[in-house]
């Protein structure tokens, strides 16, 4: 099922008025991370704030919907953003790391995995990772199916 098809089905079944939504896949391992979201193990994510500044993109907003896609661009589920905040990389909490649901869910695992991921993403934009770099932290819940 495509993202658009899942969105229409969600709207019809839940009497949701027309509103904006996004479709996207997680960058590191789209299939594994989408599965963690669908299973309720992953209720948070984070992204590099400097990339939002560079692209002049607005930050995610509470209440927004997203269709989570797998690596084949098939819809897996729909999430709704519940909380958004910005924190320095080295101030991201163990609670947020647990909500990301990856690895052993520890802050140590989160920092190691995300330093590597952010370093790679930032390098593509000729930017450098620093431990005090701002990180956009999001919390969400699955609303469909």
Query: What's the pLDDT tens digit per position in 82-135?
Result: 999 999 999 999 999 999 999 999 999 999 999 999 999 999 999 999 999 999
Question: At 8, is the secondary structure helix, strand, or coil?
Answer: helix
Instruction: Report phi then psi at 118, rounded to 5.
Output: -65, -40
Question: Which pLDDT tens digit goes with each residue over 42-56?
Answer: 999 999 999 999 999
Q: Among 1-10, 21-30, 109-118, which is the least confidently predicted range?
A: 21-30
Residue 28 has a pLDDT of 78
Q: What is the CA radius of gyration of the chain?
A: 15
Residue 51 has which token pair? 């990339």
- CB-based burial label for 22 (10 Å; 0-12, 13-18, 19+): exposed
105 vs 87: CA distance, rounded Å: 19
Half-sphere exposure of 51 (CA within 13 A, CB side): 16
């Amino acid at each position: 099922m495509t993202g658009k098809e899942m969105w229409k089905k969600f709207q019809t079944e839940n009497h949701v008025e027309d509103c904006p939504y996004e479709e996207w896949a997680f960058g590191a391992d789209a299939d594994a991370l989408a599965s963690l979201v669908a299973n309720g193990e992953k209720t948070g994510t984070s992204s590099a704030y400097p990339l939002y500044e560079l692209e002049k993109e607005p930050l995610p907003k509470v209440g927004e919907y997203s269709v989570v896609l797998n690596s084949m661009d098939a819809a897996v589920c729909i999430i709704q953003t519940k909380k958004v905040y910005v924190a320095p990389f080295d101030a991201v909490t163990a609670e947020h790391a647990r909500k990301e649901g990856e690895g052993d869910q520890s802050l140590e695992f989160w920092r190691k995995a995300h330093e590597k991921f952010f370093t790679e993403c930032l390098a593509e934009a000729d930017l450098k990772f620093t431990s005090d770099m701002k990180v956009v932290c999001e919390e969400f819940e699955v609303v469909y199916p």
